[in-house]
Amino acid sequence: MRTLALADSSETLFLTDRPTAADFPPLPHGLTLDDAVAVRAHEVKAGDLVVAQFSDGTGVRPTEHVPEPFPADPHTVSTCPCEGCEECEDLDAWTLAEHSRVADVDWRFVCLAPAEDDEACVLVLRNRPVAVIPADVAARAEEAEPPVRTYGVMWSADFEASSPQEAARQAYEQLKSYATDAWPPVLEVTDEHGQMTVVDLNASQEKEEGR
């Protein structure tokens, strides 16, 4: 658990450890909650990585971790490009219930990210505390992360068989056995530029066992 402070308040916020459940993957680019700071929702800047919110109320505010942290794209509700997500429809219903609320929307709420890929807009009360990793910190971590490339992996072996289908079945059975009681094969790995590397997983295994 970390303690965070808001620049405009003496209140202490307690940022709990990120859940380890399957729907809470690790933060991207090797970032951790040690990189997080607390700001009001209306102070979130474009590119800040939103990792958690703090519930409303007094006393200890429970941490609400964001399952999929997202880079913020903050804007006013009135300029939201959304074409009708669930969150915006609920807000519309709130304003229709009392017409005077229409004028209150932009000073009460902020949209931290517009609806995308079937996900609703992230509408938050403007003064609600939010834990973010600043955009410059997230950008440096992303730049320092080794790039992900595409590799082709080839494995070959000879089998005595009466047909291609039988040889394929033998190969399949041998591949399955590598996960249980046999040594893995030697693999030819080719990168995007055609550079081939021969990886002997047998040797790798021997090295690990000899540690």
pLDDT in tens, 110-154: 999 999 888 899 999 999 999 999 999 999 999 998 888 899 988
pLDDT: which is higher, 94 or 108: 108
Query: Residue 34: pLDDT band by 50, 70, 90 thresholds?
Result: very high
Per the CB < 8 A criterion, the answer to whether 155 and 183 are in contact is no
- Non-local CB neighbours of 65 within 8 Å, separated by 6+ positions: 16, 18, 19, 24, 51, 52
What does each C-alpha distance from 162 to 159, 165, 167, 170 come to in angstroms? 10, 8, 8, 11
Query: Given 3-state DSSP classes, what are the helix, strand and coil percentages for the chain, each rounded to the nearest 5?
Result: 30, 25, 40
Per the CB < 8 A criterion, the answer to whether 184 and 177 are in contact is no
- Provide the pLDDT for residue 206: 46
pLDDT: which is higher, 198 or 97: 198
What does each C-alpha distance from 144 to 138, 148, 150, 151 come to in angstroms? 10, 12, 19, 21
Given a cut of 70, whether residue 98 has pLDDT beyond it is yes
Distance in angstroms (rounded) separating the CA atoms of residues 142 and 137:
9
Shortest CA distance to 197 belongs to which of 189, 209, 206? 189
Q: How many CB atoms lie within 10 A of CB 154?
A: 10
Q: How many CB atoms lie within 10 A of CB 175?
A: 14
**Torsions phi, psi of 208, nearest 5?**
-65, -40
**Torsions phi, psi of 50, nearest 5?**
-85, 120
Among 9-13, 31-35, 48-52, whose mean pLDDT is lowest? 9-13
Per the CB < 8 A criterion, the answer to whether 51 and 27 are in contact is yes
Q: Would you say how long the chain is, in residues?
A: 211
Query: Residue 59: pLDDT band by 50, 70, 90 thresholds?
Result: low
Per the CB < 8 A criterion, the answer to whether 14 and 7 are in contact is no
